[in-house]
Chains A and B, each alone.
Chain A
Amino acid sequence: MNSSRNIKIALCLLAVLLATKNLFSLRGLNRLREEHRITHLEKALENAPPMLAFSTLALGGFRGLIANYLWIRANALHNEGRYFETLTLAGWITQLQPRISDVWEYQAWNMAYNISREFDDPEERWMWIDSGIRLLRDEALRYNPQEPDLYRELAWFYEDKFGQTLDEEHRFYKVKLATDMVKLFGRKPDYTALLDPQTDEARTTVERMKKEFNLDPAWMAEVDREYGPFDWRLPEAHAVYWASLGLKRARVDEDVIILRRTIWQSMHAAFKHGRLIENQFTRTLDFGPNMDLLVKTHETFVSLKAAEAEEGDQEMVDYVGRAHLSFLSDAVFFLFGYNRIGDANLWFKRMKELYPHASPKGETVNDFAVRRVTDMVKDGNRDRVVAIIEGYLNTAYYNMVIGEEEDGTKSMLMAMTVHKAYHGRIYGQSRLQLPDIEKMKATVANTILNGENPAFTLDMRAVFAAMAGRELKLTQEELDRLKAREEAEKNR
């Protein structure tokens, strides 16, 4: 009995000693966990129900399982269209698992694309889109600075939500962005002042750029040097900024084709409509092609295609090639439209060298332009062609009035080319004939002068009348309005 008792005492003492040793082992393990960032820092979920907050705190490393459950639940709510509830859930998941980039992407996309549409007011839609952008830019990238998907998503918001025309309020977003940028650094960023700020004003600007927009002037200068020159009041510049930053920061083994694709898509878009045109009459903004980007866009395509070729991905090389060809077609067409025939020929030749199948043998740049225009009229619908020609004529006059001579000439040339091409197709069928081009010009001019085209304000009509050497006819209401305006100016 004694020996049994002694054994028990010895064993209990051993247990106590080992418990003490265990405590030190445990503390050592906890230190290792922190050192190697094996587990996340535990802090309570904000604004979560008590049960959830407790579970995530108490369960420590097992919180990943809770995050998975919330993730599946968020998907179920999303399918039911309950976007606000998914907002809450996704917010918790980003707190639980901040290093999972998909949650941040979803959260930002949900705000910018789903929830924004719940509101009718464009200002409020903008606020939700802006929130999505800030979430990615200021939070997600802080935790995941090497994640290419996040950079791509951020660039995509600028390229698609602001840059494209699918959202009915896209114009509002463009104007809002332009206004914000002008307030920040004026029409163009002055890199000399911003990269080495000597004045308080410059220092304040740099601070605001970093704090409010997370923009680094040095990287902006680099982007302009590499891909630009951009108009930073427009979204395409920002899309390229973030996509190129992602390329720079992504891990070595990551697939970065998504970022490269964003860059060339944004550059192509910037080429097509990356120039801001201010209408001083209506105080609105319009967008036109940025021909200054032609060379850099082409070089970008070439270098990105070479990068894909180096990685041995022929499918991707072909894909980039198709996009490149589309860009070169636009470039040739625009140059032709601007009557820069020499440049158009040069680029046409370059296009045929790179992509021989792009043009049949013996085709000239003129034939190419006509062919492209003919594609627009190939269904032979007379009314549609009339609408297209009148559209070009209206645009031509509009651009001339606001001082954009080049664009005006381009549109006029397009109208005439379409007219000629159409008549070439219909082989003289009289029932399909269009009026003479001069007659069509006169018709459009009359609608403008009579005030039937709402895009032309009274002042613009007056300018047009003076340009065309015609008399401006005003209605009684318009006369009264003019008188009232003159009185007001006199009194001022």
Chain B
Amino acid sequence: MELVRQPFFLVLMTVSAAFIAFLGSIYYFALGEDVKLVKDSGLAVVFLSGLFGAVFSASSSVAREIQSGTALAVMSKPIGRIPFLLGKYLGLTGALSLLTLVNAVALLVSTKIAFDAYGEPDLRALGIFFGAMAAAFLVGAAMNYFLDRPFVGNTVFTLAILATLAFCVIAFFDDQGGVQSFGADVDWRLIPACVLLLFALWTLAALALACTTRLDMVATLAICSGFFLVGIMSDYLFGTGDAQGDRIASAAYAVTPNWQVFWMADALEKDKTIPWIYVARALEYAAGYIVMTLALAVALFQDRELK
């Protein structure tokens, strides 16, 4: 809960969702294939904003608690280090799931309204979506003013609900404003694509959490950037060596998170699908990596001085 009450979290969620939705309405001057550009760009924003959120949230979650001394206060209660760390991680995954949900909804809207060189932006759908976002802020403000409820936390949850409802409304209309069957022109493959990205974010959050048990926030961010870079190139750097039986390459391949398995932009071309069996296997990989990382995090946190 603490994470979703951070002003930064609301800013990130709002800006990323608004930007993704907006992407579907600009002219790309791209000689065709504008819709593909929207999908790729949208997925990239979902990924990058989630990465940002994962790393910052993980870093601030533990490092600052240690720095400010509240970790010591919590640990003095009958809460061991392991439950403390695992609890932090589960909270992280919840916050990231909420962020990814809103961004995924925005992406579905964006690709639904995307158009090619001969089309025009669907201002009606855009208006509904942005209207829903604005309404969420108004609801949060009203709850804060009349009911003394925290503004940021309530706005985040309201935004998630209203954005989803807005999409449901938009999906019942085509780009001319005529009624259609629900989501007839929506690319539903974006859902498994976003689910895979969520797994990637969970993985990075675990890495960030592990780093933050020993390092300061800035150092954690720098290390996570390195992991991000190496993880993108993992297939290139170590994959070939692993395929050729090089043990060192295999070891490096195993410990480096491979972001390629979670990036499905190529699969959104015509006549391709993202099979759910693949999503399940990717979850298995992510789960294995997360547990491995959390095990190391716990090991690092065991005898960390909390004063």
Q: Which residues of A contact B (CB under 8 A)?
A: 4, 7-8, 11-12, 14-15, 18-23, 25-30, 32-33, 36-40, 42, 57-62, 64-65, 68, 71-72, 74-76, 78-79, 99-100, 102-103, 105-106, 146, 251
Contact = CB atoms under 8 A, between A and B. Distances in A.
Contacts of B303: 4
Nearest to B269: A99
B40 A64 contact: yes
B71 interface: no
B31 A106 contact: yes
Contacts, number: 151
Interface of B: 28-33, 36-37, 40-41, 44, 232-233, 235-237, 239, 242, 250-251, 253-255, 258, 260-261, 263-267, 269-275, 277-278, 281-282, 284-285, 288-289, 291-293, 295-296, 298-299, 302-303
Contacts of B269: 99-100
B41 A14 contact: no
Nearest to B274: A38
A205 to B, nearest CB: 36
Contact of A26 (B44, B251, B253, B296): B253
A29 B272 contact: no
B32 A105 contact: yes
Contacts of B299: 7-8, 11-12, 15
Contact of B302 (A8, A42, A60, A100): A8
Given A26-B253, A29-B282, A38 B272 contact: yes
Contacts of B267: 36, 38-39
Given A71-B30, A72-B30, A32 B292 contact: no
B29 A75 contact: yes
Given A26-B258, A100-B269, A68 B40 contact: yes
A60 B264 CA distance: 11
Contacts of B239: 30
Contact of A23 (B33, B242, B296): B242
Contacts of A65: 40-41, 44, 265
Contacts of A20: 254
A3 to B, nearest CB: 10
Given A4-B302, A68-B40, A62 B272 contact: no
Contact of B288 (A18, A33, A57): A18
A146 B281 CA distance: 31
Given A12-B295, A39-B266, A72-B29, 20 more contacts: A7-B298, A12-B299, A19-B251, A22-B255, A22-B289, A23-B253, A26-B258, A26-B261, A29-B285, A30-B239, A36-B273, A38-B266, A39-B260, A59-B232, A60-B232, A60-B233, A61-B263, A62-B260, A71-B31, A71-B33
A282 to B, nearest CB: 43
A100 B36 contact: yes
B261 A18 contact: no
